[in-house]
A and B are shown apart, each in its own frame.
Chain A
Amino acid sequence: MDNLGELLHGFSIAVTVPHLVLMVVGVLLGILVGVLPGLGAPNGVSLLLPLTFGMQPVSAIILLSSMYWGALFGGSVTSILFNIPGEPSSVATTFDGYPMARDGRPTTALATAFGSAAFGALVGVILITFLASWVAQVALAFGPAEYFAVYFLAFASFVGMGGAAPIKTVVALAIGFAIAAIGIDTVSGSVRLTMGVDELVKGVSFVVAVMGLFGIGELLVAVEEEFHARAVSSKIDWAEVFRAVGRLPRHGVALLRSAAIGCWMGITPGGPTAASFMSYGIARRFSRRGRYFGTGEVEGIISPETADHAAGTSALLPMLSLGIPGSATAAVMMGGLMIWGLNPGPMLFVDQKDFVWGLIASMYVGNIVAVALVLLTVPVFAALMRIPFVVIAPLIVIICVVGAYSVSNSYLDVVMMLGFGVIGYLFKKLFYPLAPLVLAIVIGDKAEDAFRQSMLMSKGSLGIFFANKLVTCLIVAGIALLLLPLVLQLARLWRKPAVPAADTTAQEKVII
């Protein structure tokens, strides 16, 4: 119970008037950059960083992390209302959040998302509080082979659990891998797939890809279907905010399952993006209303949001204890730590107790502040949906163009964003799933690096993926998920009461 004492000490640091003011300011700024196009948490935090140089490290990190929470919440707003995810990890929220908002229930969608996000974050912080030292150990066990196994599991869960035809999922994944390969390759150091365009050496930014795929792609479909030039009639309804949050406990199983997935992916450095996608895929398979997913299901919002925030929060721990930033924002904060004269690493917990526990306590308080502030603003945001489509459509185009340009001030990105818009449209028309494409763009190159690093280590032997219990479990689970659709299909073909579990093991043996 040492940790509890430390935590109380942390609260005495975090809950002071100046720090509470910093939290409110940080959260508000965060919501602002989260909602504004093309800004996002990493940019916001780096803009604010120079202001913190004169501050106490603990005040500085409270300001920056509060801004991070605010931006995460703000990012969900654009995902749900306009189908434009601000961060890779909020892509999965668009799948059911956007249909629900378009259906005239934006308040419910936003309140559900915020409520479950807060729950996820809370579970993440509690985990950090009690398991700080243990968590650091788990992360250390992850070498390249284990990393690859986690990514493989994320991909496989999409093939096995996704809603689309498995073969189409595989095609979407493959296209995503090709896009992820553009630019300089970490392992060989050579330039790949730039097709003579010098600027492509930097690779394809995730923001550019999703703004086109989701924002523009959706718009093209809507225009074609003469998406009713009517505004969604949404009343400003404060009571609905509380009703939506009040309904959350009914989905207790989904909440707990998603929080568990989120924490697991946050600790094993799979990260929030993989967590939210996996959680969505698994929920779709196990939820009783799984086949309605994608049309505005409550659990389709709860699952990715809870997992995203649980992973995002617990991922701060590897950053502090090991110095591996789990996200771009965490990387900026880590740069800040160095400038404030602190070195992330195992000693931080021993040398800088005030800092670490002040931060952890501020995560409790900061998240409460953030969720209170965003819930209050829900009806205001929801009111945005009442603007007619003819006004909103050009606005979305502007948001996407400005967002794509501001990634690295490059016109090429704008052109590529529009190109992705066309791809997104074609995918929708041909019933190809977008989620695996995005997942592959985001973690495809990491998976590739990890695979090739493992191959270098083992001198080309695949045995490295079965070298210890951890990696074997992950790989076997991945293979099982990958073969699940095949097994189910075979079972259906033979029209006899097949036992999928037994078949899966048989298949695995053949593969291994």
Chain B
Amino acid sequence: MPAPPEPPENEPPVVTPTRVVIGLCLLIPFVAMLWVGSYARLEPTFIGLPFFYWYQMLWVPVSAVLTMIAYRLVKRENAKRRAARGGDA
């Protein structure tokens, strides 16, 4: 096992505004989906589908977009951290 690189001393703080946004993007679907009372009804219907069904299916693309935003932000954050690390070394 090669010795893993030591972490540099001046890493950015663990909690950054970007990370908070990432966390929110990942958390929102849980609130929306687990709060069943918020969507347990039939009206309004969409092309004949009761609200209960189309609303939940609508959350599939919504959560995908949220995850995509989180992915972009994570990539940017990691690039920044790597750059900071590279600069220190």
**A and B interact physically:** no
